[in-house]
Structure 1
Amino acid sequence: MRIHHDWTGLPADARGASVAMGNFDGVHLGHRSVIDTARAACDAPLGIITFEPHPREFFAGDADARPFRLMNAESRANRLARLGVDHLYELPFNAVMAGFGPADFVREVLVAGLGVRHVTVGADFCFGRKRSGNAATLIQLGEAAGFGVTIAPLIGDGRVEYSSTAIREALAEGRTRDAERMLGHWHRIDGAVLHGDKRGRDLGYPTANMAVDGLHLPALGIYAVLVDVLTGPERGSYKGVASLGVRPMFDGKRPNLEVHIFDFAGDLYDQHLSVALVEYLRPEAKFDSLQALIEQMDRDSAMARDILAAR
């Protein structure tokens, strides 16, 4: 998959795609419907148009510091690559983009910049300055500009509509399997392994530490996890147990993800991981002693091994 960070100056072989357009936070089953519809719309490379930062982040600025994203840009790109996307147009959402009216956006970005063959969006899609354009607007403008438009219906399971909001709620309550049902995949946290204080190694549980800045936090606590090492000599898939939280035993304040990979002895510093939260085991807690913590970690690991062995 090729990633493009602007809509201008693209080579000829990066233009003319059949694109799905939206924010695709989580790349859930509703998004998959839009993407699959774009794939089938015409004989052209499959493209995704999305925005970075998320428009909600751009407009909120510092007024609302509560993280809401299910995925950072790296995680979203990794998931889209797994779906066979040819081109990811990760367009900068800045004052210029925010100032485009619907007709400006179609003329400057979709036609002059990307030369799209076809555009697919969800039924609730809005675009342009102050969200003044919708799916019907796009159909009208696309017809005048010479490209086709398909509106993919919203989908759900009869009880709940698949949405990023519903997935956030499930994760916040530790309902990883409900989130997986709506996502169509395990919720993952992707990123680089950071240098930490190495306390886990001293406890007999070396961990790979990852930042979760800017992300909506699932329930804090201990998880059974599947780990994909995406870079470096240890590249591959593993099983493990992870702590998502502030490390109350050590008076931590900033949440992070600490991943212990079972039966692993390699060096992962600065490598990139994709960590799937499979099962929520328990909330994080502060123990009376380090020995009590280690004994609980032993129980957590045994439970995680049993859960993952049954998959």
Structure 2
Amino acid sequence: MIEELAVPAAAPRFCLHVAEGVSAAATSEVDQLERMDLLSPRLIAVHGVGIEGEAIARFRASGAVLVWCPTSNLFLLGRTVSRELLDGLDVLLGSDSLLTGDGDLLDELRVARRLALLSDARLADAVGVTAARRLGLPAPSLDPGAAADIVVLTRPLLEARAEDVALVVVDGIPRVARLDLVPALGALAAVGRIRRHGNLRRWTNASAADPPPRSRRAEPNLSQQWVHSNDVCRQDFPARRAAPGRHRHCLGPDRDSGRNRTPTRCRRRHRSRTGRSARRHATAAFHRYPLGPHALDPARRAAGGRQQS
């Protein structure tokens, strides 16, 4: 965390990644926030894995809210926040990043439920009433006159997956719909388009704010836009036993040959990535974590961090 942080006094809330690690430096961030007079009810703290010992009591007494990102914490650090920290604290649920988390908030809800650190009611509130209150949004309601922001699921909230999302309505306007519901949308169906995410296909409302589709030829080579070296890696995470410079060869062009060297296989849902997609995935992941998103794979960890064939 930086030593100086300017937060406007009139800002009702601000969001920071806090104690995102297990080192002494991560644990000391609560002290640092207190010295900067930022440990207050305005703080929306993301992660909090390193908040331990007497720092827990001070954090809870401050009135700050915690955004819990269970799958990202487990993936990157092999652990998550303590039950003691979550007790008696306003908790929101987050996904952190699609590179490090399992996917979306539904995935986070299922994993959080399995960890059994919060009751089902508190988990539902973490993406509902509590989240709205701490983010300054109207409380979710189906009362007449309330904002028509609705998600229709085919399974209970804490059991649902992305494929169980049947309909999303924002401010009374359908934004996402299962394909068999599209005929019921009438004239609105014609202004939407079908989008695919993996094996999932949904109709989406094409907004005027959507950028026009770009051709592959016009897209920038994202692997060329990153500069990386061992000395700028995040040092807040456990050592990965990576040989110096090993992860550099998983990023964009190799300095010696000038050729792109990117992994084409990833265990986390994105099988057989190639081309620009592989470069984007590898570049962002390996920029922060020396062994990339595979670092905490138990099989690879047991093999001393070596790539498995």
Tell me which interval the TM-score lies in, with the shorter structure as reference length: under 0.3
| TM-score, normalised relative to structure 1 | 0.27
- Relative contact order (C-alpha < 8 Å, sep 6+): which is higher? 1
* TM, length-normalised to structure 2: 0.27
